[in-house]
Amino acid sequence: MTVGLILLIVLAIALSGYVLGRRRSLRMVGGDIRKLHSLPGFYGQSVLIFAAVPALLVMLGWMLLQPPLVDRHVARLITEADIAEGSSRDLVMSDVRRIADGLDQMMAAENLSEDALQALDAGDSDIRAKLGNVGIALGSDVRSAVFEAAKVYRDSAATGRTLMTLAVIGLALTGAVFGYLRIAPEYRARNVAETSVKALLILSSFVAVLTTVGIVLSLLFESLHFFRLYPAREFFFNLTWNPQFRGGSDLGIFPLLWGTLYVSFVALVFAVPVGLMAAIYLAEYASKPVRAVAKPLIEILAGIPTIVYGLFALITIGPLLRDYFAQPLGLGASSSSVMTAGLVMGIMLIPFVSSLSDDVINAVPQAVRDGSYGLGATQSETIRQVILPAALPGIVGAILLAASRAIGETMIVVMGAGAAAKLSLNPFEAMTTITVKIVSQLTGDTEFASPETLVAFALGLSLFVVTLGLNVIALYVVRKYREQYE
Amino acid sequence: MSMPQTTGPQTGHRASKSLLEVDAGTRRRNRAEARFRSYGIAAIGVAVLALVLLVTSVLSNGLGAFRQTFVIMDITLAADTLDPSGTGDVDAMKRVSTIGYGKLLKTALIADLESRGIPTEGMSEKEIAGLLSKEAPAQLRNMVLADPSLIGQTIRFKTYATGRVDGYFKGRVSMESAERDSNVTPAQLELADRMRAKGLMSVGFNWGFLFGPDASELRPEAAGLGIAILGSAYMMILVLVLALPIGVAASIYLEEFAPQNRWTDLIEVNIANLAAVPSIVFGILGLALFINFMGLPQSAPVVGALVLTLMTLPTIIIATRASLKSVPPSIRSAALGVGASKMQTVFHHVLPLAMPGILTGTIIGLAQALGETAPLLLIGMVAFVRDFPSAPPEGFMDPAAALPVQVYNWTQRADPAFVERASGAIIVLLAFLLTMNIVAIVLRRRFERRW
Amino acid sequence: MMKDNRIEERTVDMDMTETKISARNVQVYYGETHAIRDVDVDILDKTVTAFIGPSGCGKSTFLRCLNRMNDTIPICRVEGTILLDGEDIYDKRVDPVQLRARVGMVFQKPNPFPKSIYDNVAYGPRIHGLARSKAELDDIVEKSLRRAALWSEAKDRLDQPGTGLSGGQQQRLCIARAVATEPEVLLMDEPCSALDPIATAQVEELIDELRRDYSVVIVTHSMQQAARVSQKTAFFHLGSLVEFGETGEIFTNPQDPRTESYITGRIG
């Protein structure tokens, strides 16, 4: 039974529980709801909660736990002898999983019966070709033990699924009956219902925390995995980035970090003055109609997806910079360059800097402005000598947030900066960034367990740590700044 | 009223100068003022210019994708080549491959040219057939297999012209570039001109771009956005279904129930930080958690939706909390005062009043999610998908593309015709975003409440 | 009208050379609202003039006209003539920046800049280029702080933020900041309303001191304060100037029934 179907059944049980529970409560008092502790709907809700919540929790837990358990069970079937030269248990297990997934399709394509499948042996029939026909491409011929393991895997998974179906539906029914029988006029159904709803609310607020935990754990585990295969010292201090398919790669983060910082620097050098001046003009000078037009126009820039900026860099800014600056100046012939990505990223960051700065400038109280004007200061003197220094912490916070954005930005650099890991000062040369390499190392057809792939997680971890650090500082600075004027 | 010019007694400090003359110092300061002001105008100018340049670039490159060159020809579907068994049995007819249909198309096109008196001297048959898209035989074959009764008839068949000819009519390909191009010859372009003059070729609106599936590297003319749009739509539905309830529930707890303690403080800091985590990190999470650990399929909308949900949640939570906060406490006191429970107060009074703000925030969050690319690359949505996903809910597990990823995909291909496709796809994407944002703005205008 | 005649008389009586600011027929509009109507008033040099009246009567608005602070409010429009030393301050050729250097202002709420005490006081002299050297600037700062009776409290913490001072100290800092540019007229908009009685007394004392060098105009809603510090008092009501004269005269022998009602506490 598919997950969706089980969900629907549980839902149906819960809903009928609601209707029946509601009706039962009314019947108990002969339709006089004044005799009930709570409104009839709450009695319905209490039944619904008893029916749905335990069942769904069990289902969720089961779905999370079953795959690793089955994995462990099947992995025991594979002996050292079944692992080919140069392969690993992990790789064999991933083959087992893929074969198991493909078996059903293969059975359908070949009109095989269940018995025929069990009789099938990898030794005497060409499993690899048959699986290939249904879209499961395997790197080598299937060993007998691997194929047997795959069959066990498939069986265990199916058994697990059946058990889960029974357990979940059974639990839903039991819960519904239990809830139904508890109904009595003095039963505090509202309190039960509201406590459960509150628990649900609390649970929802944990999702954000769980996301962070998930990010940290997945990055940490895979990075540790990587550092077991590739020394951490090399990763942080090797000055070359040169992944090889056949091992012996140089995977130093340094050139990528350099490219990332260089592109971000160019972006900020462009975006900060423009964004800040735009914010100042809009907050202090612009007349109402100008503000009403210019502010949304600039904010449109913030709503444009980064892929659009990427394309803009690729087809417009890149060739433009190459033809009018890089080539005439003899600085390079590549349309993807630090400058291309930096400029376009700078455009993307303008609204970011300007709207945050606008906020902090507006947070400076009017009284301070009046004080300055009252002394005979001009508007620009007031802005430069009073407002900006007062707003400085907030603006610094905004710039840090923008920097964190720039460092983590992916599509613009993927399409605008290039793929060559280089340590160069020439801004018209193609360089690459951490994010570009995360994408390229994880989207190729490389083996998942190789250091060349796993390095992406170590890169991701570095990226996460850097941006998190910037964000925490920025948010702290901005918060402190806000408090100053509250 | 004119008063005698009075100099007033010296007050002991600076001698008063006439107000009516601007002194040198003030003049200098006013110049600095004007300069500073002009920097501001320049900054606005730069930002607006960048926007204009961006929009112009996308429009000028992409509008062409909505128009396409078609060949409209008469073709006789000869029974002896298409149905050699003569039984009309579809399975038997499937034996005839696209190569067979290709030959049929070639002879039909040459015959058509001849009958309309369009000269083709000096051109090989291959060159003439090369005007048709490589997609044409497959199109014809699908058409015949879907309706075997067509066999034996002469039908009017409309198919794509090859990408280069299309590019020629759109100004992307010229006679000079054709000289150097191994995929097209100047003679072919001249023939295309003649065919267009005689109505054998025409340029029209390209529905296939909006609804068709993607096509391979060599057939840019046939590449469409259908699967990408559907995939994005599936993801948006799932994101809405997942993110809205969770986001609203979390906000209600944090805003209305949570005690002020370290734990809720942690949650708040955490949400603020999550909003600023680079999107690619969410992609890594999706890959490690949903695909590697939980074993969900690659390229599936459900995985994309889960990742985008986690990304959208902070946006929705922040908007929802702001919206809840703006409901005045007097409403809560009023409800509590008539004996409603806290929960009833929130769900009967506060939440409905906050709803417009919540929906606006949700739409804006969805718009962000719709344009997000990087995390989807990591969970395998770059794969080349030719088959439409089935209807939900199973379709959520089928491989699909997504609009922004399709754009990226097309920019990675060699044929310059794909640049036009990518820009066209951007126009579609921006049109969706614009619609969503307008809905959000209208919602806000319509229901905005001033307390 | 009777009121107008009386003012004419007084104007004639006064020594022309002592008139610092002379306002005639001043009207102020906020968008459609006519906030100030037909105000004629003469402000004398080396005198404290108090503007009193119930809240919303326009006294603050009128005060802000005297150094064109209302220019910073886009919807505000001023008509009529205001002369400073005989020159129309609303003349097109007048730069408000130059005007405000001569007509300083202290606000209702102490509004020190988020800078050090020293920088707060030095701000005006710096932007107007009044000091040729650091020593001169130090001098001005010290003199101004002394004049604002803040020197003894602040001299050891000149580099600390002005926002760290107590309310009364902050207000005296703002006064020091205003006198540092050596204005000829000092406008004070309810300078004591945010202060406690002790700080108020200090500021009032200060105002009396300042009278030696400046023409001071003070807006206050406290009649006792007006009586204590001012020599001339103007009573505003509903945007009009009702009565203007010697402070003692106004408080003991008001001519207009509205003034009398206000002073005896019937309009508030």
Q: Which residue(s) pair with A377 in the sheet?
A: none
With both helix axes pointing from N to C terminus, report the angle between A451-484 and A434-443 in degrees, rounded to the nearest 10.
140
* A315–B292 C-beta distance less than 8 A: no
CA distance B423 to C55: 63
In this structure, what token pair is assigned to residue B175? 């006679």
Least Cα distance to A307 among A335, A260, A348, A274 occurs for A348
Give the model's pLDDT for residue A31: 79
Q: Which amino acid is at B393?
A: P
Amino acid of residue A416: G
Element (H, E) at B410: helix B403-411
Closest chain B residue by Cα to residue A217: B285
Q: How far is CA A288 from CA A70, A262, A283, A295, C74, in A?
A: 66, 38, 10, 10, 10
B148 and B137 Cβ atoms separated by less than 8 Å: no
Kindly state whether residues B201 and B246 are assigned to the same domain: no
- The predicted-structure confidence for C64-90, as pLDDT tens digits, reads as follows 999 898 888 888 889 999 999 888 999
Instruction: Kindly give the confidence (pLDDT) of every residue in chain C, 268 residues in length, as a single tens digit, with 9 standing for 90 and above.
Output: 344 444 444 443 444 447 889 999 999 998 888 999 999 999 999 899 999 988 888 888 999 999 898 888 888 889 999 999 888 999 888 888 889 989 999 998 899 998 899 999 999 999 888 888 999 999 999 999 998 889 999 999 999 988 889 888 999 999 999 999 889 999 999 998 888 888 888 889 889 888 888 899 999 988 889 999 999 999 999 889 999 999 988 988 888 999 888 888 766 5
CB contact B372 to A (< 8 Å): yes
* DSSP assignments along C209-250, one per residue: HHTTTSEEEEE-S-HHHHHHH-SEEEEEETTEEEEEEEHHHH
How far is it, in rounded angstroms, from Cα C254 to Cα C244?
Answer: 10
Judged by a CB distance cut-off of 8 A, whether residue B39 touches chain A is: yes
Asked if A271 contacts A402 with a C-beta cutoff of 8 angstroms, the reply is yes
Interface test with A, best of B19, B277, B302 (most A CBs within 10 A): B277
Most confident of B292-296, B403-407, C85-89: B403-407
What parts of chain A have a pLDDT lower than 50?
none
Query: What is the nearest CA distance from B406 to chain C, expressed in angstroms?
Result: 50
**Position B194 in a domain:** yes
Computed over its alpha carbons, how large is the radius of gyration of chain A?
Answer: 31
**Structural domains of chain A, with CATH:** 3-211 (no CATH), 250-484 (1.10.3720.10)
Is residue A367 less than 8 Å (CB to CB) from chain C? yes
B287 and B430 housed in the same domain: yes
Q: Do C128 and A374 touch (CB under 8 A)?
A: no
Give the residue from A6, A49, A205 with the most B CB atoms within 10 Å of its CB, the best one to mutate.
A205
For C100, the closest of A367, A373, A484 (CB atoms) is: A373
Residue B98 domain flag: yes
* pLDDT tens by residue, B193-211: 888 888 888 899 999 899 9
For residue B16, pLDDT beyond 70: no
pLDDT in tens, B132-178: 888 888 888 888 888 888 888 888 889 999 888 898 988 888 888 88
Residue B6 lies in a domain: no
**Which tens digits make up the pLDDT trace of A70-111?**
888 888 877 777 776 666 677 777 778 778 877 777 777 777
What residues pair up with B205 in beta bridges, in sequence order? B67
Minimum Cα–Cα distance from B342: chain A residue: A194
Give dist(CA B136, CA A378) in Å, integer.
72
Quick one: residue B271, left, alpha or beta (phi over 0 = left, psi -120 to 50 = alpha)? alpha
The whole-number pLDDT of residue B122 equals 81
Name which of C100, C115, C126 is nearest A374 (Cβ-Cβ).
C100
Does residue C211 contact residue C48 with C-beta atoms inside 8 Å? yes
pLDDT band at B6 (very low <50, low <70, confident <90, very high): very low
**Assigned domain for B308 exists:** yes
DSSP secondary structure of A339-397 = HHHHHHHHHHHHHHHHHHHHHHHHHS-HHHHHHHHHTT--HHHHIIIIIHHHHHHHHHH
Q: Please report residues of A whose CB lies closer than 8 A to that of B249.
A: 200-201, 203-205
- Residue B321: which of B397, B385, B248 has the closest Cα? B248
Token digits of residue B291: 């695909």
| Residue-level pLDDT at A405 | 93
Tell me whether C181 touches chain A (CB under 8 Å): yes
List, as one string, the DSSP characters of C24-42: EEEEEEETTEEEEEEEEEE
Is C203 part of any domain?
yes
CB B228 within 8 A of CB B388: no
**Residue B10 — pLDDT band, cuts 50, 70, 90?**
very low
- Which helix (H) or strand (E) segment holds residue B293: the answer is none
d(CA B79, CA B90): 13
Higher pLDDT, B119 or A107: B119
Name residue, tokens 């020593």. C135
B4 contact C CB<8A: yes
Please check whether residues B110 and B186 belong to one and the same domain. yes
Report CA B87 to chain centroid distance, whole Å. Answer: 47
Cα–Cα distance, A477 to A387 (Å, whole number):
17
Range of the domain at B147: 66-205
Inter-chain touch A456–B284, beta carbons under 8 Å = yes
Same-domain check for residues B88 and B187: yes
* Pair B199, B231 in one domain: no
- List alpha helices for B63-89, DSSP H: 79-82
Burial (CB count <10 Å: 0-12, 13-18, 19+), residue B330: exposed
Structure tokens at B243: 């993110």
Instruction: Give the Cα separation of C231 and C50 in Å (integer).
Output: 8
Residue A440 CA: distances (Å) to CA of A258, A444, A450, B230, B278: 18, 6, 14, 26, 17
| Radius of gyration in angstroms for the set of CA atoms belonging to chain B, rounded to a whole number | 32
Whether residue B4 is preceded by a cis peptide bond, meaning omega within 30 degrees of 0, is no
B233 and B337 share one domain: yes
Does C268 fall in a domain? no
Nearest CB among B1, B16, B26 relative to C81 is that of: B1
Q: How far apart are CA A193 and CA A41, in angstroms?
A: 10
CA distances for B45 relative to B50, B110, B155, angstroms: 8, 57, 57
* CB proximity list for A335: less than 8 A, separation 6 or greater: A314, A318, A319, A321, A322
Say which DSSP state A33 is in: G
- pLDDT at residue B89, as a whole number: 77
Contact C101/A at CB under 8 A? yes
Cα–Cα distance, C114 to A370 (Å, whole number): 14
With beta carbons less than 8 A apart as the criterion, state whether A8 and B392 touch: no
Q: For residue B276, give the CATH number of its domain.
A: 1.10.3720.10
Instruction: Please give the pLDDT value at position B128.
Output: 87
Spatial separation of the C-alpha atoms in residues A278 and B45, rounded to whole Å: 9
Helix (H) or strand (E) holding B214: none
Q: What is the pLDDT of residue B429?
A: 95
Instruction: Report the DSSP pairing between strands C103-106 and C185-189.
Output: parallel
pLDDT digits (tens, 9 = 90+) for A172-230: 999 999 989 888 888 888 888 888 889 989 999 999 899 999 999 999 998 998 999 88
Domain span at residue C36 reads 2-263
The Cα–Cα gap between C109 and C238 comes to 24
- The answer to the question of residue C144 being in a domain is yes
Best mutation target, A307, A361, A388, to test chain B (most B CBs within 10 A): A307
Residues 6+ apart with CB under 8 A from C126: A385, C137
Q: Are B335 and B345 in contact (CB under 8 A)?
A: yes
B273 shares its domain with B420: yes
Contact between C237 and C262 under an 8 Å Cβ cutoff? The reply is: yes
Structure tokens at C76: 């505000």
- The answer to the question of residue B268 being in a domain is yes
| Partner-chain contact A298 B44, CB within 8 Å | yes
Look at residue C17 in the predicted model and tell me its pLDDT: 45
In a domain, B360, yes or no: yes
Q: Which chains touch A (3 or more CB pairs under 8 A)?
A: B, C
CATH code for the domain of C142: 3.40.50.300
Task: Supply the pLDDT for residue A135.
Answer: 66
Q: Which residue of C has its CA nearest to A381?
A: C127
Same domain, B264 and B159: no
d(CA B239, CA B242): 5
Contact A285, A379 (CB under 8 A): yes
Token pair 């969970």 is found at: B379
Is residue B177 one of the residues assigned to a domain? yes
Q: Is residue B114 part of a domain?
A: yes
How many residue contacts between A and C have a Cβ separation below 8 Å? 76
For A458, the 3-state DSSP assignment is helix
Q: Please indicate, yes or no, whether residues B173 and B296 belong to a single structural domain of this protein.
A: no
How many separate domains does chain C show? Answer: 1
CA–CA–CA angle C252, C253, C259 (5° rounding): 95
Residue B118 carries which side chain, given as an amino acid letter? I
In a domain, C258, yes or no: yes
Structure tokens at C245: 């004269």
* Count: domains in chain B: 2
Question: How far is Cα A250 from Cα A239, in angstroms, rounded to an integer?
Answer: 9
Q: With an 8 Å Cβ cutoff, is B24 touching chain A?
A: no
DSSP B291: I
- The radius of gyration of chain C's CA atoms, rounded to the nearest angstrom, is 18
